[in-house]
Structure formats: structure tokens, C-alpha cells
Amino acid sequence: MSSLSEFHLLSVLGQEMNMRKAAERLFVSQPALSQRLQNIEKSWGEKLFIRSQKGLSLTPAGELVIQFANEMLVKEEKVRESVSALNDEVHGTLKIAVASIVGQNWLPQVLKKFVGKYPQAKISLITGWSSEIARALYDDEVHIGIIRGTPDWKGVKMHLFKDSLFLVDTEITRPEQMLETDRPFIQFKSDSNYYQEIQDWWLRNFQAAPKRTIIVDQIETCKQMTFNGIGYAILPEITLNGGEGDIFKIPLLDEHGELIKRDTWLLGYESAFQLKQVQAFIEIVKEHIEETGKS
């Protein structure tokens, strides 16, 4: 068993653990898939999957072979990237992991320019918290990561922009009013360093905690609840596009009276920056920052 198509077949089976779903993904019939699997198992001299009405389960031999197949597919992709880098045109897949806030509010404009200029390139995008982005980079799952805050990163890092934090509400015009209102403080789940910044600011300015608090999963939910007058929130400038209507936006200040700002960084390993699709993306990013004047 040596062909890449068979590696791919085994990888898909290992992910789906279901013949019907795997056949759909591979665009083959179930009988054809079953026959190919039997031939692969025959070449290994071992059963790789145990079939039942509930689906598939891996044998010990199957676990080893699936792991091997996945490793070979990863190696194949890296070789293809290196071969693609020898050509003048930008091909291959650009794999990005980005903080959700950036992925929703800044990245789409950049990717629009990228795909317009390099239609042959593909994009693989995952979003999450900055801690998850860093883990994806460490595990070599992506070429570059875009995170919020101050990175502890030994590889290549490029500063993208800063944006201020604002107290946002339909009624409150001064921070002190937060202690007077019975309306809740709406918070969205985020990395601990963001919470720490908010907590530090709060403790510098107030003795008491908010009277009521609502925690939501997504920043967009937090934003819409705030804009609809349910409560007040602290939101990054990147989420406020100027079309908020009758919303009061009060900048948060540090102990020196300076605006509290969040940094956004692009990170990666030196080897990834040798790939043409990554180099092309970096150039698009630089052009976008220059055009928008945001840095």
C-alpha cells in the first residue's frame, strides 16, 4: 500500500468512522469503497477496521496504519508547498489561524484582496482564542497566526495594528454611571489577558464590582445586546465600524491618562515565511495597513 490516494482514503475513513459518510466525501459508491478497503487490508495482511451496524472501529493495526497515512499526507503537502515555491506563480494553500475578533472584523478585507490577486491559491482558515492560535502554530497546523495581546513568541512576528478599548452603551456617558445603573455589564468570553486588562482598569477606577453581569460566548452577541440597550459593555475599537447610531463610546484610560489599546500581531516560523503564498499574503497585509493607515 503506497499510493497517495489510498493514504487519503484511509485518512477519510479514520475521520468519519462510517462507510457511507466516507464514500460521500470520496465521491465513490459504498461497494467500491468496501472493495478498495479490502484490497488495502489484504496488502497489509491485517484487518484495519471492524465493521458493525453502528459504524467502524479501528483495530490496533488500523490505529498504526491510519497514523502512518496521516503522517504521509502531511509530508506530501509540505513537499508540494516546497515544489510550488520554485515557481513564479502563487499556488498552494495558505493556512491561517486567527483570533475570532480579527477574523470577523479585519481579515475579510485582506483576504478579499488576496484571493482577487492570487486566484490559484487556496485558503485554510481557523478561528479561536489567541491561546488556541498559538497552539496551532506550535503544532505546525498552520503557516501563520494572528493573535491579540502581547505574544511570547520566539519566531517571526509582525505588528499589525493597535485598537483602543471603549465603554459602550445607549445611556451611560461617564464611567462612574456604571455603578449607579441596574442594567447589567455584558461580557464576552475571551482570553485571560483581555479579562485581566478589564479587571485592572475596573479596580483602578471603582471600589465595588458591577451590580449585575451577563456572560455570553461571542463578542458579536455582546455587541448586539449592548446596541439594543440591554446593558453596557467594554468592546475593542476593531468591532466598532462607525455605524452604531445613538451609541455612546467612552475610551478607557490607563493610570497615566493614556488610551488603553490592544495589539494585534502576525506570527509564524521562518520556514513558513519562505513559502510564496505566505510571502504574497504578507505583502497584501502591508499594502492594506498602508492604505487604511492603521498600524
pLDDT at 273 over 70: yes
Q: What are phi and psi of 162, to 5 degrees?
A: -115, 150
Contact 143, 275 (CB under 8 A): yes
User: Which of 160, 139, 174 has its CA nearest to residue 248?
Assistant: 174
pLDDT at 185 over 90: yes
Predicted local confidence at residue 1, as pLDDT: 41
Which residue in the block uniquely carries the three cell numbers 455587541? Answer: 223
Q: Is 49 left (phi over 0), alpha (psi -120 to 50) or beta?
A: beta
Contact 166, 253 (CB under 8 A): no
Domains of the chain: 4-84 (1.10.10.10), 93-156+263-292 (3.40.190.10), 163-261 (3.40.190.290)
User: Which of 55, 31, 33, 59 has its CA nearest to residue 46?
Assistant: 59
| CA–CA dist 206, 199 (Å, integer) | 10
Mean pLDDT of 183-203: 85
| pLDDT, tens digit, 9 for 90 and up, residues 229-261 | 999 999 999 988 766 678 899 999 988 989 999
User: Which of 116, 127, 111, 222 has its CA nearest to residue 169?
Assistant: 222
Mean pLDDT of 173-183: 86
Mean pLDDT of all residues belonging to the chain: 88
Mean pLDDT of 3-27: 91
Mean pLDDT of 185-189: 90
Q: Which helix (H) or strand (E) holds 51?
A: strand 49-52
User: Which of 224, 112, 132, 97 has its CA nearest to residue 170?
Assistant: 224
Mean pLDDT of 17-24: 92
CA distances from 180 to 78, 135, 187, 235 (A): 58, 42, 18, 20
Q: What is the largest CA-CA distance in the chain?
A: 75
Question: Regarding beta strands 93-99 and 144-148, do their DSSP bridges make them parallel or antiparallel, or are they unpaired?
Answer: parallel
Predicted local confidence at residue 191, as pLDDT: 74
Instruction: Write 155-158 long-range contacts (CB < 8 A, 24+).
Output: 155/267, 155/268, 155/269, 155/270, 156/267, 156/268, 156/269, 156/270, 156/273, 157/265, 157/266, 157/267, 158/265, 158/266, 158/267, 158/282, 158/285
Contact 159, 265 (CB under 8 A): yes
Q: Is the dihedral of CA 108, 113, 116, 120 positive or negative?
A: negative
Which residue in the block uniquely carries the three cell numbers 482514503? Answer: 9
Mean pLDDT of 37-53: 91
Mean pLDDT of 18-34: 91
Predicted local confidence at residue 87, as pLDDT: 65
pTM exceeds 0.95: no
| pLDDT, tens digit, 9 for 90 and up, residues 51-96 | 888 889 999 999 999 999 999 988 888 887 777 666 667 778 899 9
Contact 94, 278 (CB under 8 A): yes
